Structure 1
Amino acid sequence: MTPGPVEADPRVLRALSMPILGQFDPEFTALMNRIMSMLRELFQTSNQWAYPVDGTSRSGIEAVLGSLIEPGDKVLIPIYGRFGYLLYEIAERCGAKITVMEQEWGTVFEPAEIIAAIRQHRPALVAMVHGETSTGRMQPMEGIGAACREADALLVIDAVATLGGVPVRTDEWQVDAVIGGTQKCLSVPSGMAPVTYNDRAERKLNARKRVERGLWAEPGQSAASPAASLPARIQSNYLDLSQLQDYWSPARLNHHTEMTSMLYGLHEGLRLALNEGLESRFARHRLHEAALTAGLRGMGLSLYGDPSCKLPVVTCVSIPDGVDGEKARSQLLDDFGIEIASSFGPLKGTIWRIGTMGYSCRKTNVLHLLGALEAVLLRSGHPLPAGEAVQAALQVYDAAAAD
């Protein structure tokens, strides 16, 4: 029960074991087409391009930022936790001229603050985290996309922690590119990064396509055409979205060897999510979050961060005074088979982070964790009202059942 990776759904694990098909087998390319259609539903978009990048979530972030940021581009990055700094590092490696906004950890930005910065700095691209697992907060997105359109800026969001667990309204929020992950709310092993991007982003990609000399000239263009006047080349071949989209297009231009088994797993994870229904899935995550937080408060623990912007799929708990947080985590793992997470930077050793994501987000897990954590804290000498945590969670479940 960490903020990722979480338990893989057993049905996903079974799909991963299916026999290998060739990557251009008609049955396999039909599977690719179904995955694109399913991802559009999950991202809540009509974008043409919605497909997975082969690699863990960071590969998707690098693919999107590396493909959309040219050296010298002005990039605005609002940071309210550890993974905002990751966006900064990747943008810096792309040669961006970066303007940073920083917010105290445990809080988020008012959208008006970001909108004002967009109008002031006129960036070419705004990159931000939607759900920050390091602090358990979720950034409101209202109006930010519209401000980017006014400023002719691209908006990119990291939705690795939120995709499949809370709404990611790509089109409604006017987001130009979104990156997700498989190992969190989709309950698929890490190894793929679903992405989607719209026509505005694609125009930037196509403007950066380089016509290579020799064998790689495109039809109708001379192999010896000079490229000096073209925009800066996308540095990565493997993570070049302009080439990846050609591979996922009906042309199926060969780019790399596809991760066949991972696509089987992703397809099953998407099938399960969509069969559950997105609104029902979001409600399930909110229910188990409510039961978990009620139980934690029931045993007298304090939740970390501003509750008005809490990330529904990650709950951060302040470690009680006098309790060795790492020893308690080890006891949970060794004695009860439950893994929860610590945090990073200024929060390391001060909070625990508990994930309720995807397949891991279920009643038995919540109740098991609350009982186990109570036992661990009592054995550490921390006083608490025994039995109250599980009872408080059960009251939440009873009330939900009554509705």
Structure 2
Amino acid sequence: MTTTQTFGELDHPSRLLMGPGPINVHPRVLRAMSVQLLGQFDPEFTGYMNETMALYRQVFQTQNRWTFLIDGTSRAAIEAALVSVLAPGDDVVVVNAGRFGLLLSEIAQRCDAKVTTVEGEWGKVVDPQAVEDAVKRVRPRLVACVHGDTSTTMAQPIAAIGEICQRYDALLYVDATATIGGMSTPVDAWRADIVTGGLQKCLGGPSGSGPITISDRAAEHINGRKHVEAGIATAGSVAGNGRRIASNYFDLAMIMDYWSDKRLNHHTEAASMLYAARECARVVLEEGLQARFARHAQAGAAVVAGVEAMGLSVYGDKAHKMTNVTAVVIPPGVDGDRVRARMRTDFEIEIGTAFGPLAGKVWRIGAMGVNARKHAVLTTLAALEAVLRGEGYGFTAGAGVDAALGVFS
């Protein structure tokens, strides 16, 4: 006879999530997620959809009509963008100086696109001239890049790449997962064609919804590959020409029909995630974009000042560092994993590890959303100080907290 095992109710400690994401969810967003569901075509619900589009136009700093949500994590939005633009044989230039540049290349290869990478050193940004040289040589349909790559904590300047794409008639895709809501992502000023984000970092929400904005130019191209309307194959559109979008779930042309006045059925909208995304944007805009960017910049500067006062080094080119995530070089003789474990077990604080060339070499400390505040930064630095002293790493006790306090004051 088998015994039914139901496990226990979820009841874990409330941790302070100070890694590169996810972070602690804003209380207002948690409350929004508990609101009762509505049907996906209920007029009140489609009204919420329209409100969400209007809110994210402001967050993305764009006039793009096509600004909405992809149901899935931020990677779902990335994949929807690339799968919907790239057909087999298309040329794409990928700007790669970190783990998430590699991800863009991997997804583009799955689209059977011809990928040309512009390689940069981890810890630095890519020279726009190298991007232009590749674009001039390849003449790609798309240039794809990451704004803030949390694997290296570098923020790639985008405006120069947008100008290059305009001159060479290439579409520009930007992954702004780690920066939207914490650093400026001025989509129209960048002249970017598709930009995607995620809720779980600076927007202060849960992972599971990917905001996206699409220019008219990109939407025209995507709709040119459209092959299904109301469940019926469009005459002459399709079969065998290799141009149709390979995915159904990530087919932006079909998703746009759902988010349009047509309200054509594509999927059952993730209502609770829409509520979360809507509230995330409301919180951001009520604070004000410039005030929010300044708060994240101050919190990040306090983290830098604190760790440097402890005698630790900040990884990478500080001139192009993300404001919201800091990579700290693990000093010789210190067990980085043990420090992270003690931070969690002794203080209920999570900081990040790293991967690729930086595995075991740096910790990553994030200050994002509700955690980009004085008390969260000071608590994290105080805990790190205590753990490092326990590990035998010597420095003046209190130096990190005092330095961070100086930034906040």
**Which of 247, 255, 274 pairs up with 1:244?**
255
For 1:215 and 1:11, how far apart are their aligned partners in 2?
A: 38
1:209 deviates by: 0.9
For 1:365 and 1:203, how far apart are their aligned partners in 2?
A: 45
1:231 deviates by: 5.3
Alignment match, 2:266: 255
Q: Counterpart amino acid of 2:59?
A: L
1:271 deviates by: 0.3
Aligned 8 A contact 2:175 2:196 in 1: yes
Alignment match, 1:293: 304
Residues 1:235 and 2:246 aligned together:
yes
Residues 1:334 and 2:351 aligned together:
no
1:227 deviates by: 3.4
For 1:233 and 1:227, how far apart are their aligned partners in 2?
A: 6
Alignment match, 1:161: 178
TM-score (norm 2): 0.94
Q: Counterpart amino acid of 2:103?
A: L
For 2:290 and 2:95, how far apart are their aligned partners in 1?
A: 29
For 2:304 and 2:223, how far apart are their aligned partners in 1?
A: 47
For 2:163 and 2:247, how far apart are their aligned partners in 1?
A: 30
For 2:151 and 2:171, how far apart are their aligned partners in 1?
A: 25
Alignment match, 2:152: 135
Q: Secondary structure at the match of 1:143?
A: helix
Deviations 1:209-245 (A, max 9, x none): 1258x95156xxx6xx573475521011111000000
Alignment match, 2:112: 95
Deviations 1:274-316 (A, max 9, x none): 0000000000001111111111111111111011110111000
**Which of 232, 236, 239 pairs up with 1:216?**
232
Q: Counterpart amino acid of 1:263?
A: L
Identity of aligned residues (%): 52
1:327 deviates by: 0.2
Q: Secondary structure at the match of 2:125?
A: coil
Alignment match, 1:401: none
With 268-277 and 104-113 compared, the bigger mean Cα shift is at 104-113
Aligned 8 A contact 2:38 2:271 in 1: yes
Aligned 8 A contact 1:208 1:231 in 2: no
**Which of 115, 137, 149 pairs up with 1:120?**
137
Alignment match, 2:285: 274
For 1:143 and 1:289, how far apart are their aligned partners in 2?
A: 25
Aligned 8 A contact 1:111 1:142 in 2: no
Q: 1:391 to 1:74 in 2, by over 3 A?
A: same
**Which of 17, 42, 53 pairs up with 1:36?**
53
Q: Counterpart amino acid of 1:248?
A: W
Q: Secondary structure at the match of 1:303?
A: coil
Q: Counterpart amino acid of 2:376?
A: N
Residues 1:108 and 2:125 aligned together:
yes
For structure 1, the residue ranges without an aligned partner over 5 or more in a row are 399-403
Q: Counterpart amino acid of 2:314?
A: L
Q: 1:211 to 1:270 in 2, by over 3 A?
A: closer
Residues 1:47 and 2:64 aligned together:
yes
Aligned 8 A contact 1:300 1:385 in 2: no
Alignment match, 1:325: 336
**Which of 366, 382, 396 pairs up with 2:393?**
382
Q: Counterpart amino acid of 1:386?
A: A
Alignment match, 1:307: 318
Aligned 8 A contact 1:211 1:227 in 2: no
For 1:104 and 1:59, how far apart are their aligned partners in 2?
A: 27
For 1:325 and 1:141, how far apart are their aligned partners in 2?
A: 33
Q: Counterpart amino acid of 1:342?
A: T
Residues 1:186 and 2:197 aligned together:
no
For 1:15 and 1:254, how far apart are their aligned partners in 2?
A: 25
Alignment match, 2:24: 7
Alignment match, 2:407: 396
For 2:112 and 2:402, how far apart are their aligned partners in 1?
A: 54
Alignment match, 2:37: 20
For 2:227 and 2:219, how far apart are their aligned partners in 1?
A: 14
1:122 deviates by: 1.1
Aligned 8 A contact 2:307 2:381 in 1: yes
For 2:227 and 2:48, how far apart are their aligned partners in 1?
A: 30
**Which of 198, 206, 226 pairs up with 2:223?**
206
Q: 1:217 to 1:233 in 2, by over 3 A?
A: closer
Q: Secondary structure at the match of 1:181?
A: coil
For structure 2, the residue ranges without an aligned partner over 5 or more in a row are 1-17
Aligned 8 A contact 2:227 2:237 in 1: no
Alignment match, 2:161: 144
Alignment match, 2:13: none
Structure 1 segments (4+ residues) deviating >4 Å: 228-231
For 1:226 and 1:41, how far apart are their aligned partners in 2?
A: 35
Aligned 8 A contact 1:110 1:140 in 2: no
* Mapping 1:352-371, distance limit 5 Å: 352-371=363-382
Number of aligned positions between the proteins: 392
For 1:251 and 1:90, how far apart are their aligned partners in 2?
A: 30
Aligned 8 A contact 1:106 1:137 in 2: yes
